Structure 1
């Protein structure tokens, strides 16, 4: 069937939709037929075309067409040649007008149906054909004025929500963060969470980090509030490997010990 004869929408009447004895494939076939229907209520697809649209075998398509016809949902009109009475074309009336009596115009330029459409319903048909490139599901030739569907989940166009709890050893991170926040700095928890998850330290490394941090918070510079990084940067730059400057003992004089009786310049 020519591509220009396709409609963008298909319609399923409620009687067809709620027919519990009709398989879902039959309802979908009706939808495909209605999307192909001519303005006078009929279409002329071959069984091969319908099988490609639904990814079914031609034998199954014939069975479903027979079900729809038995229930009065569609009407099939076959036009035969005057000379040999052979099938020339097949027209399927569907849409909302299955009982229309208007015959298709005799002079309309319609494609000839394949010979397989004239086979008896009981004859074996080959395997299902490959998926049609012109399947009405997933077509790319959509009108430009139809807006795209909004993204699913979350706020439209919003950024991903930041994490405040790490995925890697969250209980050990909480102990680290509480100690760091209390003795050093407590800014940018989310950044520290991100770096913690990237680093994924094992228990041995966490213990090493803890001992280094305890020594650093007792250092002279950190006690004076100098050079204390955010926890995020402390993790990112492996600051536990820094050698802290030893704290000055106020009871001991600066510099080396002086021997009595020696004059120093």
Structure 2
């Protein structure tokens, strides 16, 4: 992935932003995955790419990705080399994130700010 060419926007829905189970950088990584997915619906960026981007270890990125998977925000699938069990690439996709009542989110008063 080339940062010079990455000009897509990131989306971080309220259910992710206010999920207290996620660390701030996991939320930021979620946004980066949405930005990388905007064109095709899939993110093929490796842990090495994200590691360089955020200046953290690949193990840290792996932990962040695993937490996003654990809490149902993304899916991870592998593409294997033909007729082998060797991984060619990982593909991350964004799950549709419904509003969850059990996540601490700021509640908006329906009468507030409207006419």
* TM-score using structure 1 length: 0.34
Paired residue for 1:104? none
Larger RCO, structure (CA 8 Å, separation 6 or more): 2
TM-aligned CA distance change 1:7 to 1:74, over 3 Å: farther
The 4+ residue runs of structure 1 with deviation greater than 2 A are 2-8
Q: Please state if 1:49 is matched with 2:24.
A: no
Gaps of 5+ in 1: 100-265
* 1:4 positional shift: 7.1
The question of whether the paired residues in 1 share the 8 Å contact of 2:22 and 2:67 is answered with: yes
Indicate if the aligned counterparts of 1:7 and 1:37 stay in contact, CA closer than 8 A.
Answer: no
Matches within 5 A, 1:62-141: 62-94=62-94, 98=95
Higher strand fraction (1 or 2): 2
Structure 2 regions of 5+ residues with no counterpart?
A: 97-115
Find the aligned partners of 1:68 and 1:58 in 2 and give their Cα distance.
Answer: 15
Counterparts of 1:65 and 1:82, CA distance in 2:
26
Q: Give the Å deviation of 1:59.
A: 0.5
* Number of positions where the alignment pairs a residue of Structure 1 with one of Structure 2: 96
TM-score normalised according to structure 2 size: 0.74
- Give secondary structure in 1 for the equivalent of 2:28: helix
SS of the aligned residue for 1:9 comes to coil
